[in-house]
Structure 1
Amino acid sequence: MTLYMPLFRACARLRTLTQLHAHLLVAGLHRDPLASTKLIQSYAEMGSLGSSRLVFDHFHDADSFMWGVLIKCCVWGRAFEQAVSLYREMVCQRKEITRFIYPSVLRACSCSGNLSAGETVHGTIIKCGLDGDHVIQSSLLCVYGEMGSLHNARKVFDDMSGTDVVSWSSMISSYVDNGDPSGGLDVFRWMLLQGFEPDSVTMIGVAEVCAQLGSLCLARLTHGQVLTRNIECDDATLNNSLVAMYSKCGDLSSAEVLFNTATCRSAASWTAMISSYNQRGCFREALDVFSEMQESQSKANNVTMMAILCSCARLGWLREGQSVHCFVIKNAMDPGYDFLGPPLIEFYADCGRVPDSEKTFMTIEERDAVSWNMLITVYARKGFLEEALSTFLQMRGQGVVPDSFSLTTSLWSCGSMGCSQLGCQIHGVVMKSHIHNEFVQNALIDMYSKCGYLDSAYGVFLEIHKRDIVTWNTMICGFCQNGYSLEAIHLFDEMYLNCFIMDEVSFLSVIQACSHLGYLEKGKWVHHKLIINGVRKDLYIDTALTDMYAKSGDLKSAQAVFDSMPEKTVVSWSAMIAGYGTHGQVDIAISLFNQMVQMGIQPNDITFMNVLSACSHAGSVEHGKLYFRLMNSHGVAPKLEHFACLIDLLSRSGNLDEAYSVISSMPFPADSSIWGAFISGCRIHRRMDIFQIIQRDLLDVDTDDTGYYTLLSNIHAEEGNWGQSRKLRLTMESTGLKKVPGYSLIELGNRTYKFGAGDMSNLQIEEICNIWERNLQNLALEQC
C-alpha cells in the first residue's frame, strides 16, 4: 500500500483520482483502511464529497480514524449538518470518539447554528473527561462565541487551566462579535494586568472594539499600544483594521495617513480605504481611490467590487455601476454571482432599475438565503409588497431556510398589507425554527399591531424577556395607532418606572396618545420629562406637541411651541390651524392659513380639511364656500371628506337645497358621512319633505357605520314609522353591527380613569355612585 501513497499526492484532477480508485478496486486494496481513508480525503479535497461518502459507506468496518476524517471532510465541504449527523451515528453505534474528532464536530455545530447540538457535545466532552484538553477548550470557546452564547464562552474561558494569547484574543473577539465591545475592552485590560503580551490578532479585535464604541480617544490609545509594543502583521491586516477603526471613530484624516504611509498595499488595504470613505459618506472619494488602485496595477477582489458597487449605488450613478458590472464579467471575478449577486441586485434597485435586479437574481447559480433576502428587501423597500411576499414563498418552496433577515422583512410586508393570515403562518415558522432574534420579535409585534390584533402583539411583547428600546416603542406605537391611547400611556409609564432610556420615538408616541385623549396634564408631564432627559426635539416632536396642546384646549402653549419651531412644515401649520378651528376661533385659523400661503408653503388636502372644519364649527358659511372653491387653484382635488365637511356646514346652517345640489354634482357617489350630515340638517330644520325624496338613496348606502343606521332609525321613529325604524335596527343586528358605547375620562393623580355606561369594573365604583347620589340629593334640596 505504501507504493500508492505518492500517487494520491500526485492526483491533481478528479478524473485521475477516479482512475486510481478503479485500479485499487481491481487490486483488491480498497479494503485497506489507509487506502480508503486517503480516497475519502482526496475526493473531499477535489470537491467531490459525495464520492468520499460512497467510499466510506462501502467500507465494511470503518474505524474511529476514518469516521473522523469523513467528519472533517464534511466540515471542509461546508456540509455541516451532515458532519453533525455522522457524529450522532458514531454515538449510536458506540464507536470510540477520539479527542481529535471533537473540534471538527464543534465547528460543524457552530457553522450550522445548532447551539443545542453544541451544548450536547460539550456535555459528552465533560463526561469523557476531555474538558481539560486545551485544543477542545479553544474550540468550545470559538463555538460559543460564534453562536452568541457569551455566558457559556466566559464559563469555558474561566475554567481553562492555562490561558494563552490565542484564548484571550478569542474571548475579546467573542464579545466584539456579539455586540458587547465594553466587555471585550474589559477582557483586554484584564489580559494586560495578567502580564500577557498581545499580538496582532489581539489588537485587531481591540481595534474593532474601538470602532464599535466610536471612541476616538480609545482608538488613539490602541494605536499607541501597537506602536510602543512593535506589533507587526506581515499581511497588513492590522494596519487595515486601524484604518477602518479611525474611519468609524470619525477621524478620516488619520485613516488616510495610515493608508498613505503603508509600505505594502494589498487588495485588502485598498478595500479598507474605499470602505472607510463609504462609511463617512464620501462616495466620490471612494471611487477616486479605486481609480488609483487600477493605476497601481493592484488586483481588485470581490470585496473591493462590492464596496465600489455600494459607492455607485449611493451616488445613483447607473453608468459607472454598469461599468463595474462589465469589469466583473470581463475578469471572470464571480462567474456564478455567488458573492457579488446581492450587491448588484441592491445597486440596480437603488438606481431605479428593479427589472435589472430581477435579471441579476436569475443569473445567480446557487441562490442562498442572502440573495433571496436581497430581492425580498428590494421589493419591500420599493413598495412591491405582494412581490416581496411571493418571493418569500418561492424561497420556502425552493427549500431555502429563511433567516431572521428574511422573516423580519416578510413580517413587515404582511403588516403593511394587513395580510394577517400569512403573518400568522410566518409566526409559526419562527416558533418551529426557535428563532428568538429581537428583530423578528419586534417585527411580529409590528405586524400584529398593523393588522389590528393587539392581544397577539401584546402576547409577543410579554414573551420577550430582554426588551430593548425598539421593543417598547413598537408596542407603544401599536397601542396608539389602534386607538388604545390609555394603554399606550400606561406602557410608557411602566417603561419610565423601569428606568429605560427613552428616545424621540418613545416621546413622540406618548405625546400622540395624550393628544388623542385630550390628556393635558399628562402631556405637560411628558413635555417636562422630554426636556429634563435631554431628548433632542425635532420637527416631528414639536408638531406633535403643538397638536397635543391644541386638542387639549391649551392654545397658548400650542402657539408657544409653534412659534419656537425653527422650521415649520405644512403639517405644523395644519396642526395649529386645526387647534384654533376646533375651539371656534375661525378668524385666527383663517389668518394662519393666509400667513402660510404668503410664506410660500403649499397647503395640502389636510390643511383645507382643517380650514373647512373651522368654518363648520363657527358656522361661517361664506368662508367655507370660499375656501372650498380655492382648493382647485392650489392643485388640491376635493375628496369625500371635504365634500362631507361642506355638506355639514350647509346643512347645519339650513342651506339644504344648496347642500343637495352639491351632493348631486359630486364626481363620486355620496357615502354614509355625507348623507348622515345632510339628513341631520333635515332633522334639525324639520325638512322631512327632502328626507322623503332621498329615502331610496339612503337605503342604497353600504356601510358599517352604526351611527348612520341609528340616525335613520331615530328619524323614522320620530315620524311614527315604527316598522321602518325596527327594520333598520334588525339590519344592524343581522350584520353584527353594534353601537359603540360612549365613555368618559377622569384625570386624577397623574392617571386617567375610563368610565362607560353600565361599567362596574372600576374598584372605586361604589364610592363614585355614593358621591353622585349625594350630589343629586343636594341638587333636589336646592330646587325645593
Structure 2
Amino acid sequence: MRAAVRTTQPGPPRRWPPPAQPVAEAKPAKARAPITSLLKSLKSFKFRLAGGPPLAPTTKAFKSYAETCASILRLCSAAASSTPSASASAPTTSSSNLPLVLSIHAHALVSGLTADGSVASHLLTAYAAFARAADRNQAFHDCVTVGAASPFTYDFMVREHVKAGDIVSARRLFDGMPERSVVSYTTMVDALMKRGSVRDAVELYRQCPLCSVPFFTAMIAGFVLNEHHKDALGVFHEMLSCGVSPNEITLVSVIKACIGAGEFDLAMSIVGLAIKSNLFEKNLGVRNSLITLFLRKGDTGSARRVFDEMETRDVVSWTALLDVYAELGDLDGARHVLDAMPERNEVSWGTLIARHEQKGNAEEARILYSEMLADGCRPNISCFSSVLGACASLQDLRSGERIHAQALKMAFSSNVFVSSALIDMYCKCKQLPDAQRIFYSLPQKNIVCWNSLISGYSYNTKMVEAEKLFKKLPARNAASWNSIISGYAQNRQFVDALKSFHAMLASGQTPGEITFSSVLLACANLCSIEIGKMAHAKIIKLGVEESVFVGTALSDMYAKSGDLDSSKRVFYEMPKRNDVAWTAMIQGLAENGFAEESILLFEDMMPAGITPNEHTFLAILFACSHSGLVERAMHYFEMMQACGISPKAKHYTCMVDVLARAGRLEEAEDLLLRIGSKSEANSWAALLSACNIYRNKEMGERAAKRLQELEKDNTAGSVLLSNMYASCGKWKDAAEMRILMKGINLKKDGGCSWVQIRGQYQAFFSWKTKHPLLLDVYEMLDLLTCELTA
C-alpha cells in the first residue's frame, strides 16, 4: 500500500518563510588562503603551543584565541579536502597537518576551548576531512558534554552518519536533537527514501513544521525513486500551495513522476513552467527529462528533435537518445548511438544491456557487459542485475560465477537486487545449494529475494520446499502468490494451483495477468470450465481482459474444455493478437477435430502480419496428422524450413505420425533413419503404433527395439509390441513379451480420472485402492450396474 502524503493527516502548520537558521560558524571560506600564509599561520601556532605563556581566561583573550584555533582548523580542513590522496583508503597519510589537528584538539580539551561553538564545529569538519570517524564522534561527544553543540553540529553529524550508510545512528541522533532544523529533516527524509523506508519518511514529512525547496524536492524525488508517482505529485501540489518555487532539480523529479503516473498532459504543463521560469534553456536536466517524456508518450520523432536542437549535451542526453532507439526496438540503432557517444558511463551501457536482456537477446547482453568492462566502466547494480538475468536465461553457470566474483569484489553482492538476480541465476543453472547459501547469508532480505528462491524451487521441481518457504514469508505480495501458483502449474500440480489461487483471493491480494495465466492453464488441463468462467468474470471485473497474455490463456482454456464458440469469441475480440495467440487458437481447433478450420486460420495468419513460429507449425502439422492430409503436411513442413525455422524432434515426430497414419510406413521409417540422432522416442512410438494398426510385424519389432534403446524404462514400446503380436495372432510372442516385462519389473502406467464435488477434486488411480470412500464408491457402482441391467 502506498504511503499517504501529508494531506490525509495534517501535522503541525508549516511556517513560510521559515525562521532564520543559525549561521554555520564552520562554513568554509570561498577564497582559500595562499599556501605561504597557511604555512606561516601553522608555524606560528605550533610555536605558541610549544612554549607560549598561558593565556588569561579573560573573555576578550579567550575569544581571540578561540578564533585563532578555529581559523587554523579551517585551514587544515581546506588543505586536507584539496589533497587528492585524502581518502578513506589512506586516512592517516593524506596530509602532514593531521598531527596538528590532534594537538589542537588535545589543547582545546585542556584549556576549555571545546566549549566554543566555532572550535567544536571546526574540529568536526577537520576530522571528517581526514576521514577520522572515531575522532569525529569523540569530538562531537565532548561538544555535547560541555553544551557547545549547535544546530549546525547536529546537522553535520546526521549528514556524516548518512554518508557512511549508518541510517540507524543517524536516526537515533536525529530523534535526540534538542532542536531540529529543516536541514536535518531533509537529510533524514532523503536517506530513508533511498533505503526504501517510505513510511518512516512520510512520518517525518508530516512532523516537520518547516519547509524549503530541498526538503520538498527530497520528498518528491524519494517518492519517484520508490515508484509512488501519485504521491510525488501530491507533495508537489502542496509545495506550490505553500508558495515555494521549485528549482530545476524539483522539476526534473516532477516530470519523472508525471511519466510514471501516465500524466503526460501535466508533464507538458511542467515543461511550460520550466520555460516560463527560464530553466529550460539553461538546464540540461530539464531538457533530458523532456526527451524521456516524449519517448514514454510514444512520440520518438519529438524526442529526437529535442536532442538535435540541444546546443550542449551530456552523457544523460546521449543515454536518453539511446533509450529512444531501444524503445523503438531498433537495438542496432541504439548501439550506433552508444558508439557515437563522446563519453560513456555505466548508465549508458546498462541501458543497452537491460534492453537486450528484456528483448530476449541474452547472448548480446553478455557480450555488451564484457565490452563495458573493456571500456573501463564500473558496472552498477542495474548492470549486474541485467547481465545475471542474461546468464540465467542462457543457463551459463561459468559466466554467472565470474560476475558473482566481480560483484563480491565491488561489494555489491549484499545488495538485495543483485542478490535476487544471483539467486535466480543459480536456480536456473540447477545450483540450488549456491542459491540457498546466498539467500540465508543476506543480513536483510526483501520480498524480491524470497520470491526469487520460491520461484527457483519451483523451477527445480522442489514444490515441497517452495511451499515451506512460502509459508515462512514475513509478508506476501502479488509476486509471491504468482511464484507459488505458477510453480504448481508448471509442475502439473493443477489442483494445488487452484487451491492457492482461492487462498490468494481470500487474503485480499489482487491477482494480475501472470496469476490468471497460471490459473487458466490449470483450468485448461483439469477441464474445469466452471472455475475458468469464474476466473473470466474476475478478469473482466479487474479490467485486464485486453491483455494479450490473458486473452491467449482464456482462448486456450475454453478450447481445451471443448467450448470452441467461447474460445473463438475471446480470440476475435482481442484488441491485439500475437503469434502465441494465433498458435493457441490453431491448436485448439486442431485438437477438437476442426482441422480444415485450423488450416484456414493458419492461412490467414501471415496476411494479418503475424509470422508463424515453430510452435505454430507444430500445431498445423498436428492438424494435418489427425485429418490424414499428407500432402498439406509436407507442404507446411517445407514452408517451415523456407521461413528459416529448423525442424525440431517434435516436428519430425508429427511428420512420422502423418505418414504412418496414412499407411506409408516405409516413408516414415526412412525419415526416422535419415534424421538419425534427431529422432525422439515418441517418433518411434508413433511408427510402432501404426505398425500395430497395419500389422507390420517386422517393422514393428525394429521400431520397438529402437524405442527400447532410447528409453529403457518406457513401457509404451513393450505394450504396443505385445498388442501387435496379439493382433497378428502371435499369442506366444505376446505372452513372452508380457513375461519379459514382468521379469525386468516394467509396469504399464495406470489410468487416472477425477471428479469435482463442491469445489474439491477427487482423484482415482487404477493402481491405488486406498481412497477413503472407496467402498462407498463401489457400492454405488454396483447399485448403478443393477439398475442398468434390470
TMscore range, shorter length: 0.7 to 0.9
Corresponding residue number in structure 2 for 1:41: 77
Corresponding residue number in structure 1 for 2:429: 419
Aligned partner of 2:287: which letter? M
Corresponding residue number in structure 2 for 1:258: 273
* Structure-1 separation of matches of 2:335 and 2:521: 45
- Whether the 8 Å CA contact 1:654–1:685 is kept in 2: the answer is yes
Cα shift at 1:549 = 1.2
* Structure-2 separation of matches of 1:106 and 1:354: 41
Cα shift at 1:558 = 2.1
- Whether the 8 Å CA contact 1:146–1:177 is kept in 2: the answer is no
Q: 2:291 aligns with which of 252, 261, 277?
A: 277
- Equivalent residue runs for 1:332-343 within 5 Å: 340-343=345-348
Return 382-391 or 478-487, whichever deviates more. Answer: 382-391
- Whether the 8 Å CA contact 2:589–2:597 is kept in 1: the answer is yes
- Whether the 8 Å CA contact 1:361–1:375 is kept in 2: the answer is no
Q: 1:539 aligns with which of 548, 561, 566?
A: 548
Please give the secondary structure, in 2, of the residue aligned with 1:436. coil
- Superposed CA deviations along residues 157-211 of structure 1, whole A, max 9, x for unmatched, are 77x7x83336985995597367485996xxxxxxxxxxxxxxxxxxxxx65746x
* 2:479 is equivalent to residue 470 of structure 1: yes
Corresponding residue number in structure 1 for 2:679: 670
Cα shift at 1:491 = 1.8
* Structure-2 separation of matches of 1:477 and 1:648: 32
- Whether the 8 Å CA contact 1:309–1:344 is kept in 2: the answer is no
- Whether the 8 Å CA contact 2:544–2:550 is kept in 1: the answer is no
* Structure-2 separation of matches of 1:57 and 1:724: 92
Aligned partner of 1:176: which letter? F
Please give the secondary structure, in 2, of the residue aligned with 1:467. coil
Structure 1 pair 414/310, CA: closer, same or farther in 2 (3 Å)?
Answer: same
TM-score, structure 2 as length reference:
0.72
Please give the secondary structure, in 2, of the residue aligned with 1:746. strand
- Whether the 8 Å CA contact 1:407–1:440 is kept in 2: the answer is yes
* Structure-2 separation of matches of 1:30 and 1:654: 116
- Equivalent residue runs for 1:119-198 within 5 Å: 121=172, 130-135=176-181, 138=185, 143-153=191-201, 163-165=209-211, 169=216, 172=219, 176=223, 179=226
* Structure-1 separation of matches of 2:778 and 2:309: 85
- Whether the 8 Å CA contact 2:224–2:257 is kept in 1: the answer is no
* Structure-2 separation of matches of 1:96 and 1:705: 86
Structure 1 pair 709/398, CA: closer, same or farther in 2 (3 Å)?
Answer: farther
Please give the secondary structure, in 1, of the residue aligned with 2:675. coil
Cα shift at 1:525 = 1.5
TM-score, structure 1 as length reference:
0.72
* Structure-2 separation of matches of 1:111 and 1:706: 67
Aligned partner of 1:279: which letter? L
Cα shift at 1:776 = 1.7
Cα shift at 1:550 = 1.4
* 2:724 is equivalent to residue 718 of structure 1: no
Cα shift at 1:553 = 1.5
Structure 1 pair 244/675, CA: closer, same or farther in 2 (3 Å)?
Answer: closer
Aligned partner of 1:779: which letter? T
Aligned partner of 1:149: which letter? S
Corresponding residue number in structure 2 for 1:407: 419
Please give the secondary structure, in 2, of the residue aligned with 1:465. coil
Corresponding residue number in structure 2 for 1:628: 634
* Structure-2 separation of matches of 1:704 and 1:30: 97
Aligned partner of 1:321: which letter? V
Return 25-34 or 242-251, whichever deviates more. Answer: 25-34
Cα shift at 1:679 = 2.9
* 2:757 is equivalent to residue 748 of structure 1: yes
- Equivalent residue runs for 1:490-569 within 5 Å: 490-565=499-574, 568-569=577-578
* Structure-1 separation of matches of 2:705 and 2:78: 87
- Whether the 8 Å CA contact 1:515–1:548 is kept in 2: the answer is yes
Aligned length: 698
- Whether the 8 Å CA contact 2:527–2:561 is kept in 1: the answer is yes
Structure 1 pair 88/721, CA: closer, same or farther in 2 (3 Å)?
Answer: farther
Q: 1:398 aligns with which of 405, 409, 414?
A: 409
Please give the secondary structure, in 1, of the residue aligned with 2:544. coil
Please give the secondary structure, in 2, of the residue aligned with 1:435. coil
Cα shift at 1:250 = 0.8
Structure 1 pair 396/585, CA: closer, same or farther in 2 (3 Å)?
Answer: closer
Show structure 1 runs of 5+ residues with no match.
Answer: 1-5, 185-205, 211-218, 329-336, 733-737
Query: Sequence identity of aligned pairs in percent?
Result: 20
Structure 1 pair 553/372, CA: closer, same or farther in 2 (3 Å)?
Answer: closer
Aligned partner of 2:429: which letter? C
Cα shift at 1:257 = 2.9
* 2:378 is equivalent to residue 361 of structure 1: no
- Superposed CA deviations along residues 603-660 of structure 1, whole A, max 9, x for unmatched, are 544344334434544xx44x13541344204535543223323434555666544543
Cα shift at 1:350 = 6.3
Query: What is the alpha-carbon root mean square deviation over aligned residues?
Result: 5.1
* Structure-1 separation of matches of 2:458 and 2:450: 12
Structure 1 pair 564/778, CA: closer, same or farther in 2 (3 Å)?
Answer: closer
- Whether the 8 Å CA contact 1:404–1:440 is kept in 2: the answer is yes
* Structure-2 separation of matches of 1:97 and 1:706: 88
Cα shift at 1:481 = 2.2
Show structure 2 runs of 5+ residues with no match.
Answer: 1-27, 53-64, 357-363, 726-731
- Superposed CA deviations along residues 405-463 of structure 1, whole A, max 9, x for unmatched, are 33344444445xx3131x64245334333333333333333333333333344444334
Aligned partner of 1:394: which letter? A
Please give the secondary structure, in 1, of the residue aligned with 2:457. helix
- Whether the 8 Å CA contact 1:274–1:286 is kept in 2: the answer is no
Return 98-107 or 530-539, whichever deviates more. Answer: 98-107
* Structure-2 separation of matches of 1:264 and 1:182: 23
- Whether the 8 Å CA contact 2:688–2:717 is kept in 1: the answer is no
- Whether the 8 Å CA contact 1:746–1:752 is kept in 2: the answer is yes
* Structure-2 separation of matches of 1:88 and 1:702: 74
- Whether the 8 Å CA contact 1:376–1:391 is kept in 2: the answer is no
Please give the secondary structure, in 2, of the residue aligned with 1:406. helix
* Structure-2 separation of matches of 1:574 and 1:238: 49
Structure 1 pair 384/90, CA: closer, same or farther in 2 (3 Å)?
Answer: farther
Structure 1 pair 559/506, CA: closer, same or farther in 2 (3 Å)?
Answer: same
